[in-house]
Amino acid sequence: MTRIPTMYAHQRALDAMAQRRSALNGDQLQLSTGKRVNDPSDDPLAAAQAERLRSQLARISIENRMIGFARQMLSTADSTLGQVSDALQFAREELVSAGNGGRSSADRALIAQQLSGVRDQLVSLANSRDGAGGYVFGGQGATTAPFDASSGQPVAPAPAPTAQGSHPGEQYTGLDAKYTTSQDGRAIFADAAGNTLFAALDTIVGVLGDANASAADVSAALSTATDALDAGLERVLMARTRAGEQLRAIDAHETALANGDLDARERLSDLVDLDYAAAISNFQNNRTSLEAAMTTYAQIARLSLFDYL
Give residue 26's domain range: 3-34+275-308
Residues 75 and 211 both lie in one domain:
yes
Residues 161 and 280 both lie in one domain:
no
Residues 253 and 174 both lie in one domain:
yes
Task: Determine what percent of the chain is predicted with pLDDT higher than 90.
Answer: 51
Residues 236 and 125 both lie in one domain:
yes
Pairing type for strands 179-180 and 172-173 reads: antiparallel
Element (H, E) at 172: strand 172-173
Residues 202 and 122 both lie in one domain:
yes
Q: State the pTM of this model.
A: 0.74
* Residue 276 scores a pLDDT above 80: no
Q: Please work out, in degrees rounded to the nearest 5, the angle formed at the alpha carbon of residue 219 by the alpha carbons of 213 and 222.
A: 100
Residues 257 and 293 both lie in one domain:
no
What CA–CA distance (Å, rounded) separates 232 from 117? 17
- The residue with greater pLDDT, 172 or 229, is 229
Residues 291 and 261 both lie in one domain:
no
Query: Mean pLDDT, to the nearest integer, of 109-116?
Result: 96
Contacts of 82 (CB under 8 A, 6+ apart): 240
What's the pLDDT at 165?
Answer: 44
Amino acid, res. 32:
S
* Residue 182 scores a pLDDT above 70: yes
118: left (phi over 0), alpha (psi -120 to 50) or beta: alpha
Residues 8 and 109 both lie in one domain:
no
* Residue 97 scores a pLDDT above 80: yes
Residues 289 and 252 both lie in one domain:
no
* Residue 159 scores a pLDDT above 70: no
Amino acid, res. 70:
A
- The residue with greater pLDDT, 232 or 20, is 232
Residues 206 and 96 both lie in one domain:
yes
- Bridge partners of 179, per DSSP, are 173
Residues 121 and 171 both lie in one domain:
yes
